[in-house]
């Protein structure tokens, strides 16, 4: 049997405080206090406490296909982890996987249970389909099955109307959100349309997922009541393809989706300027591959105008604080180049430490063995790929 993992030492530029620090990771605890016997694994680079994908679905693989095994969920989680994502808020999964919470090598998971949606108005086999008189009870039950969050689908295409429409009447949406809050859960709400997002912001939703229909008139209220925005811009990039597939049968909907996509960068920019908390989420699963956190960061910077440091905060330390993760956990990602100078640096992490253990490095390699002398001397690094 292998012995316990040794404590680690890193001398790096620590973000966000832009200070060269000696960091020690002892078990699952990060400290600046010297830990005797710590093994030096980095003597340069730029480090932060791991990326966060705040809208991810490790219970869904591309094509909106629900997984059917724990191994599939684990594989998708590892795909995200090896890009530097060390915490995931799973914004709805049709497959429960509580066994993965806290599993060695798996990102920290905050689960939202199963999507609650209107009957026959969501992706087939993904959501818990409800009639209007069922949704309040369903959301309250899901609140007991997740890790402090629930997911409500606030709108979807109404094929009878031929366009986006709220999933339920405003009073039902408000009652459902209140029921989840009464159970101690926060509510993440999927919205694309203008009408639905106005309803759920007024009802006190905790986070707006996507939010393409947001008007500037809602932003001050969101900022004041602490409703966050997770824009999933890499998902919104697919709207043209969605529209093209709907042109013949639902031309009004197709045109609406194109207009929402075209105006969305300004929506996100205005949200930031209004003081709304914006966090990174990819919407991995469905039409989006896993492992695209770096691409979402690029879009937040290049299209929405967030500075690299704002993007890094939204993708790391500020998001971790929002999700209630302590700031002294043993999670660190090290980059060779300064990601504030170019966000492209986040595409190639040099070193990934999760729960105090080295789990991946560049390309990526999962590290089975590291060897080195003390931090005061030169170090020798031995990498070995993990066994299948």
**pLDDT at residue number 381:** 31
Are residues 357 and 311 part of one domain? Answer: no
Q: Is 2 left (phi over 0), alpha (psi -120 to 50) or beta?
A: beta
pLDDT in tens, 274-307: 999 999 999 999 789 999 999 999 999 999 999 9
**Residue 376 has which token pair?**
């005061």
- For position 7, which CATH number holds? 2.30.40.10
Are residues 236 and 201 part of one domain? Answer: yes
**pLDDT at residue number 286:** 76
Are residues 31 and 99 part of one domain? Answer: no
Residues 61 and 291: their CA atoms lie apart, in Å, by 12
Are residues 303 and 168 part of one domain? Answer: yes
Are residues 145 and 11 part of one domain? Answer: no
**pLDDT at residue number 366:** 32
Counting as low any pLDDT under 50, the low residues of the chain are: 1-3, 363-388
**pLDDT at residue number 4:** 62
**Single residue among 294, 322, 350 that ends a domain in this structure:** 322
**pLDDT at residue number 63:** 82
pLDDT in tens, 227-246: 999 999 999 999 999 999 99
Query: Domain total for the chain?
Result: 2
* Domain limits for position 223: 51-322
């Amino acid at each position: 049997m292998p012995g316990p993992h040794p404590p680690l030492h890193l001398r790096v530029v620590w973000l966000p405080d832009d200070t060269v620090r000696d960091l020690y990771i002892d078990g699952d605890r990060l400290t600046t206090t010297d830990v005797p016997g710590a093994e030096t694994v980095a003597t340069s680079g730029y480090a932060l406490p791991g990326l966060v994908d705040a809208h991810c679905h490790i219970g869904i693989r591309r094509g909106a296909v629900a997984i059917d095994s724990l191994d599939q969920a684990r594989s998708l989680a590892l795909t995200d982890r090896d890009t530097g994502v060390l915490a995931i808020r799973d914004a709805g999964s049709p497959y429960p996987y509580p066994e993965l919470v806290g599993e060695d090598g798996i990102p920290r998971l905050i689960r939202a249970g199963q999507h609650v949606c209107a009957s026959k108005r969501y992706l087939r086999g993904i959501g818990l389909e409800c009639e209007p008189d069922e949704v309040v009870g369903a959301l309250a039950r899901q609140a007991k099955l997740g890790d402090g969050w629930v997911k409500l689908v606030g709108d979807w295409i109404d094929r009878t109307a031929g366009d986006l429409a709220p999933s339920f009447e405003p009073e039902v949406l408000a009652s459902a959100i209140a029921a989840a809050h009464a159970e101690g859960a926060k509510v993440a709400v999927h919205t694309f349309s203008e009408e639905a997002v106005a309803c759920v912001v007024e009802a006190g939703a905790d986070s707006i997922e996507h939010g393409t229909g947001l008007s500037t008139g809602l932003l001050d209220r969101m900022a004041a009541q602490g409703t966050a925005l997770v824009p999933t811009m890499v998902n919104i990039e697919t709207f043209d393809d969605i529209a093209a597939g709907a042109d013949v049968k639902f031309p009004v909907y197709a045109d609406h989706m194109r207009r929402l996509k075209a105006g969305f960068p300004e929506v996100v920019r205005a949200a930031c300027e209004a003081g709304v908390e914006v966090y990174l989420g990819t919407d991995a699963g469905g039409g989006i591959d896993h492992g695209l956190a770096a691409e979402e960061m690029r879009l937040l910077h290049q299209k929405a105008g967030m500075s690299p440091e704002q993007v890094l905060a939204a993708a790391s330390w500020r998001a971790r604080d929002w999700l209630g993760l302590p700031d002294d956990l043993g999670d660190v990602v090290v980059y060779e180049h300064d990601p504030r100078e170019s966000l492209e640096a986040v595409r190639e992490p040099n070193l990934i430490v999760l729960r105090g253990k080295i789990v991946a490095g560049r390309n990526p390699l999962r590290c089975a063995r590291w060897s080195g002398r003390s931090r005061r001397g030169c170090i020798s690094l031995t990498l070995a790929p993990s066994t299948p």
